[in-house]
Amino acid sequence: MGRILDRVRQLACGAVVTMGFALAATGASAETVTDLAGRTVEIPASVHRIILGEGRLVYALAPLEKQHLFDHIVGWQGEFRGADTQSYDQYVATFPQAAGIALIGKTTADTVSPERVLDLHPDLAILTVSGHGPGKSSELVTQLESAHIPVVFVDFRADPLHDTIASMQILGRVLHRETEAADYLSFYQSHLKRITDRIATVPQAQRPRVFIEMLAAMRESCCHTAGKGNMGAFIEAAGGQNIAAPLLPGYIGDIDLEKVIASDPDFYIADGTKGPKASGPGLRMGAEVTPDIARASLLKVMERPGISSLRAVTDGHAFGIWHSFYDSPYNILAVEVMAKHFHPDLFADVDPEATQKELYSRFLPVRQEGTFWIDARP
């Protein structure tokens, strides 16, 4: 701890001198933003060395930085390469420097080393309010603030359809990519409004009852799911009734299989993010996964006792979806896919594949070939 405090004092002095010199030389001035933790943060006039509290924040930075995505990232947590290995590999193939980014931790907040972060000399840290990385009460935040290094919180998990908009606006400002953020949000909000405007005309009694099993079959017992928020928010926005919403106190949790069976949902959704070569049970979904592999894994997931007897499964109202939509600004694709399933006549003109192609071609520096949703029946 003594070494960390000494390092903080050194960086604090250096940060103040460096920022003062930079602002004097350029005539630029820092500005303030209010982040998703409700904190007022002064951000530097230019950002050169960024720490990501979660590696999967690259999903959000990609539409803003595009070909410059990895120019300034000097450290990140290692959950990206573990939880979405195929996407990580595709990004490294396009940006080889990504493989050399320093790891500040593994997959949980308690593995993050404040000393390691400080040694990377960041001038900005981007963390998430909820998820796998350090939270606002973490020791890392205390150390960074003591060193006068700005810390900004965003979030894509708890209240995704609201916080995606706020988070992309915040990132646009702190990265000085306001134009890019506005462009992405124009695309995002126009697609979301098309769904929500039509759903507003659908009576509650005509909205199907839906159960989503997150990381399906990857745990010893069913059922890990979303409540009020997260994937549950996608279900509600798409015109479904999430059966787990009244059963969970938070936005993610577990419910008993017996409660799922008793609820008798009209639709069953499985999510997953395993690669085509992964071992063990679970849904193969995401980059590098073919439709045949995805569907075969979905059928295996649905063969389990209890799940196989659900009316939604026997009636063919079942599909699989990419798990990482749950913490990504690409979640509009999940909403469109769900709306198309729940209300096919109402959304006959909506084409999630076309939306995905537009998102990839306009906003992403890496074209992620793979399967991100699949029907149980061809």
Tell me what the mean pLDDT of segment 184-192 comes to: 98
Q: Which of 207, 150, 149 is closest to 346 using CA atoms?
A: 207
Q: With pLDDT > 90 as the criterion, what percentage of the chain qualifies?
A: 80
Q: Is this prediction's pTM over 0.85?
A: yes
Residue type, 268: Y
- 157 vs 165: CA distance, rounded Å: 12
208 secondary structure, DSSP code: P
- Provide the domain limits for residue 366: 204-375
Quote the pLDDT of residue 112: 84
User: Across-strand partners of 77?
Assistant: 105
Quote the pLDDT of residue 28: 43
Tell me what the mean pLDDT of segment 121-142 comes to: 87
Q: How many CB atoms lie within 10 A of CB 143?
A: 20
Quote the pLDDT of residue 221: 83
Stated as kind and residue range, the H or E segment containing 253 is: strand 252-254
The total number of structural domains in the chain stands at: 2
Query: 169 and 208 share a domain?
Result: no
238 neighbors 342 (Cβ within 8 angstroms): yes
Q: In the structure, what pLDDT confidence band is assigned to residue 6 with cuts at 50, 70 and 90?
A: very low
- 252 vs 245: CA distance, rounded Å: 9
Which residues make Cβ contacts (< 8 Å) with residue 208, sequence separation at least 6? 239, 240, 241, 265, 266, 267, 317, 342
DSSP string, 311-374: HHHHTT-EEEEEGGGGGSGGGHHHHHHHHHHH-TTTTTT--HHHHHHHHHHHH-SS---EESEE
Tell me what the mean pLDDT of segment 57-79 comes to: 96
In a domain, 128, yes or no: yes
Instruction: State which of 161, 176, 191 marks the end of a domain.
Output: 176
- 77 vs 54: CA distance, rounded Å: 5
Kindly report which listed range (42-46, 129-133, 203-207, 274-278) carries the lowest average pLDDT score. Answer: 129-133
Kindly report which listed range (13-22, 194-203, 206-215, 308-317) carries the lowest average pLDDT score. Answer: 13-22
Q: In the structure, what pLDDT confidence band is assigned to residue 26 with cuts at 50, 70 and 90?
A: very low
Evaluate if residue 23 carries a pLDDT over 60: no
In a domain, 351, yes or no: yes
- 293 vs 306: CA distance, rounded Å: 23
Query: 252 and 307 share a domain?
Result: yes
CATH of residue 54: 3.40.50.1980
Per residue in 279-334, pLDDT (tens digit) is: 999 999 999 999 999 999 999 999 999 999 999 999 999 999 999 999 999 999 99
Tell me what the mean pLDDT of segment 167-191 comes to: 98
358 neighbors 344 (Cβ within 8 angstroms): no
Query: 170 and 220 share a domain?
Result: no
Q: How many CB atoms lie within 10 A of CB 263?
A: 18
Quote the pLDDT of residue 4: 42
Quote the pLDDT of residue 257: 97
Query: 116 and 251 share a domain?
Result: no
Evaluate if residue 71 carries a pLDDT over 70: yes
- 64 vs 172: CA distance, rounded Å: 7
User: Across-strand partners of 226?
Assistant: 252
Helix pair angle (58-65, 178-199), 10° resolution: 120
In a domain, 368, yes or no: yes
Q: In the structure, what pLDDT confidence band is assigned to residue 256 with cuts at 50, 70 and 90?
A: very high
In a domain, 81, yes or no: yes
Q: In the structure, what pLDDT confidence band is assigned to residue 30 with cuts at 50, 70 and 90?
A: low
Q: How many CB atoms lie within 10 A of CB 267?
A: 24
Q: In the structure, what pLDDT confidence band is assigned to residue 1 with cuts at 50, 70 and 90?
A: very low
Sheet holding 50-52, edge to edge: 102-105, 73-77, 50-52, 124-128, 151-154
Helix pair angle (352-363, 332-342), 10° resolution: 170
- 209 vs 259: CA distance, rounded Å: 13
Query: 122 and 218 share a domain?
Result: no
